[in-house]
Amino acid sequence: MLMTQERRADRKAALARLLGTYSVEVTARDTRSLEEVMHILPSGTEVFVANLPNESAEVLVKAAARLQGAGLTPVPHIVARNIAGRGDLEHMLAGLSAEAGVDRALVLGGDRDRPAGEFDAALQIIESGLLEKNGIRRIAMACYPEGHPRISDAVLKSALKAKLDAARKAGLDTLLVSQFLFDPQPIVDFASALRKAGIEAPLRVGVAGPADRTKLIKYALRCGVGASLRVLRERGELARNVLSGETPDELLGAVALAQMDDPALGISGAHFFTFGDPARSARWAEEQRRGAE
């Protein structure tokens, strides 16, 4: 269906509005990317900082402190299966609070088969009491509109409810961040289902930032987004654009229009999975915002 000129204008404005809140992710050791995003991102922008398996807490704290010092908002990954024990978790959180002023985090279970210690699920981290004790006021949680390659939909649904309930009891604000995907309909349907289930936490749509085709397909299949990947393969030019690492304006534009048409969806921004090049995602997001202005 052809889009009218008025509808195209709506999409441009809706996309800029959606990108009024966005975040990018970096890895703690990627000092080059850290430096680049400091010079591109507006003050206060959230930067999610991944801590890789077997990486010391000090590396994560140092990266978060650099971002905080540059006027950005670090959101460190707290990965249950990467943490050796309660003492290590408290050491990490205390450092993030005291040295980097961190007040929010992304809490994940993690993908490693064997946990490093006593934690094997994000729920255990939330229920530990250590987040709020060490100044964390809001947590982000991962969600999976197209399912997870190793976890059933029923378990995902139950786990999300349990984590949201535990966060509420701990007095923590919550944010949902979706796994990246390539087709807008699953995220719209997922948001609608959340609201029908009475879940009010804001939802940030995950999107793949520019990356080469081989890397993108590899990560997509590993992360369980094969369904929308197949949809894109059937869409000719759109598929070639996204899978060759070009901009995600079609995807995010459609999501933004859906949110504009139905504000009850509660889709409140975008999160860029950057595959080692966060600066490119940041530049694109800023171009869309400036273009609309």
Q: What is the 3-state secondary structure (H, E, C) of the chain?
A: CCCCHHHHHHHHHHHHHHCCCEEEEEECCCHHHHHHHHCCCCCCCEEEEECCCCCCHHHHHHHHHHHHHCCCEEEEEEEHHHCCCHHHHHHHHHHHHHHHCCCEEEEECCCCCCCCCCCCCHHHHHHCCHHHHCCCCEEEEEECCCCCCCCCHHHHHHHHHHHHHHHHHCCCEEEEEECCCCCHHHHHHHHHHHHHCCCCCCEEEEEECCCCHHHHHHHHHHCCCHHHHHHHHCCCHHHHHHHCCCCCHHHHHHHHHHHHHCHHHCEEEEEEECCCCHHHHHHHHHHHHHHHC
Task: Give backbone dihedrals phi and psi of 269, rounded to 5 degrees, phi first.
Answer: 125, -175
Beta carbons of 248 and 207 less than 8 angstroms apart: yes
Q: Can you give the pLDDT at residue 224? A: 53
- Pairing type for strands 203-208 and 104-108 reads unpaired
Q: Is 47 helix (H, G, I), strand (E, B) or coil?
A: strand
Of 110, 111, 145, the C-alpha closest to 125 is 110
The vertex-30 CA angle with 24 and 34, nearest 5°, equals 50
Q: Can you give the pLDDT at residue 244? A: 44
* Global confidence as pTM: 0.90
Q: Can you give the pLDDT at residue 179? A: 92
- The radius of gyration computed from the CA coordinates of the chain, to the nearest angstrom, equals 18
| Each residue's pLDDT tens digit, 236-275 | 444 444 444 456 888 999 999 999 999 999 999 999 998 8
Give the count of beta carbons closer than 10 Å to the beta carbon of residue 114: 6
Domain residue ranges in the chain: 12-292
Q: Can you give the pLDDT at residue 216? A: 63
Task: Give backbone dihedrals phi and psi of 281, rounded to 5 degrees, phi first.
Answer: -65, -40
What's the topology of domain 12-292?
TIM Barrel (3.20.20)
Q: Can you give the pLDDT at residue 110? A: 92
- Please state, in angstroms and as integers, the Cα–Cα distance from residue 138 to each residue in 75, 141, 167, 224, 244, following that order: 10, 10, 9, 27, 35
Q: Can you give the pLDDT at residue 243? A: 43
| Low-confidence spans in the chain with pLDDT less than 50 | 235-245
Cα 27 to Cα 21: distance, rounded to the nearest angstrom? 21
Q: Can you give the pLDDT at residue 147? A: 87
